[in-house]
Amino acid sequence: MTAQFQDRVAVVTGAAGGMGRAIALAFAAAGASVLAADVNEDGGDETVATITKDGGRAQFVRTDVSDANAVEAMVAAAVTAFGGVHCAVNAAAIELEADRLADIEEATFDRIVAVNLKSIFLCLKYEVRQMLAQGDGGAIVNIASTNSFRPQPHQSVYTATKHGVIGMTRNAAIDYAGDGIRINAICPGSIDTPMLRAAIDRRGRDPQEVANRLSLIGRFGTVDEIAKAALWLCSDESSFTMGHALAVDGGYLAR
């Protein structure tokens, strides 16, 4: 798989930490040039510094993925820096809820939808346009969630956005498969990230109880396990996989 990414350019959103950073590092380790995007400049710079220290090629672009101009500029930056876009993983997301639906503020709804769902539309729009212009296809992965299929309490807006990610992924896959652009989704379960830990703390839960409840093996997943799935979906090894929602969840959805 490493050789397959030697001459490829990967765009990764949410690359300042968590799953996004792990995915950016994995692409770089596999030989790709990486355009790392995030609103967190310090974290994005750290991701790029880690990649370049190890001999990889990467550039950070501060990007608000809910803003069309910023997303268009992100894709243009990848083309300017590295010559094109061959792979993209849209991983930026937020989770802000701790209440039932009737207690959620409208501003919270708008913010979650903008970052978690509108961003997928915008990233797909400009990533696909660039891949069509290049004329040699590509692969895009959207990060969804096990909430796309099985909601958790007090996450009504987050769950709605992740349902939307699956729907948009499947429709986009239908629209662009004939152009050689494969579009899939990953549905992470309980992955050990700062966002998960913050959600656990916000609800006053015991981490081990959560791990036991949300997996079959009593542990959280790792960001590296998500990164490996993303690389596979962007590689030629998954050439017959499109419109798919790949659960990486410790068996949670099987229960």
Output the 3-class SS for 33-92: EEEEEECCHHHHHHHHHHHHHCCCEEEEEECCCCCHHHHHHHHHHHHHHHCCCCEEEECC
What is the domain range of residue 18? 2-254
Q: In this predicted model, what pLDDT tens digit does every residue of 47-57 receive, in sequence order?
A: 999 999 999 99
What is the predicted pLDDT for the residue at 11? 99
CATH, residue 71: 3.40.50.720
- Tokens, residue 37: 């995007």
What is the predicted pLDDT for the residue at 192? 94
Query: What percent of the chain clears pLDDT 70, i.e. is strictly above it?
Result: 99
In the residue annotation, 158 being an active-site residue is answered as: yes
What is the predicted pLDDT for the residue at 93? 97
Where residue 1 falls among pLDDT bands split at 50, 70, 90? low
Q: In this predicted model, what pLDDT tens digit does every residue of 109-165 receive, in sequence order?
A: 999 999 999 999 999 999 999 999 999 999 999 999 999 999 999 999 999 999 999
In the predicted structure, residue 212 carries a pLDDT above the cut 90: yes
User: Is-contact 214 252, C-beta < 8 A?
Assistant: yes
Look at the chain and report how many structural domains it folds into. Answer: 1
What is the predicted pLDDT for the residue at 3? 61
User: Is-contact 103 195, C-beta < 8 A?
Assistant: no
What is the predicted pLDDT for the residue at 203? 83
Using alpha carbons only, give the angle 133, 134, 135 rounded to the nearest 5 degrees: 90
What is the predicted pLDDT for the residue at 135? 98
**φ and ψ at 138, to 5 degrees?**
165, -175
User: Is-contact 15 62, C-beta < 8 A?
Assistant: no
**Mean pLDDT value across the chain:** 96
* Class of residue 108 by CB neighbours under 10 A (exposed 0-12, middle 13-18, buried 19+): middle
What is the predicted pLDDT for the residue at 179? 98
* Helix/strand/coil percent split, the chain, to 5: 55, 15, 30
**Cα four-point dihedral sign 191, 96, 10, 39:** negative
What is the predicted pLDDT for the residue at 209? 94
Query: Which residue type occupies 51?
Result: I
What is the predicted pLDDT for the residue at 231? 98
In the predicted structure, residue 61 carries a pLDDT above the cut 70: yes
User: Is-contact 189 246, C-beta < 8 A?
Assistant: no
Where residue 216 falls among pLDDT bands split at 50, 70, 90? very high
In the predicted structure, residue 2 carries a pLDDT above the cut 80: no
**Mean pLDDT over residues 71-84, rounded?**
98
- Residue 189 to residues 26, 129, 186, 237, Cα–Cα distance (Å): 19, 31, 10, 23
What is the predicted pLDDT for the residue at 250? 97
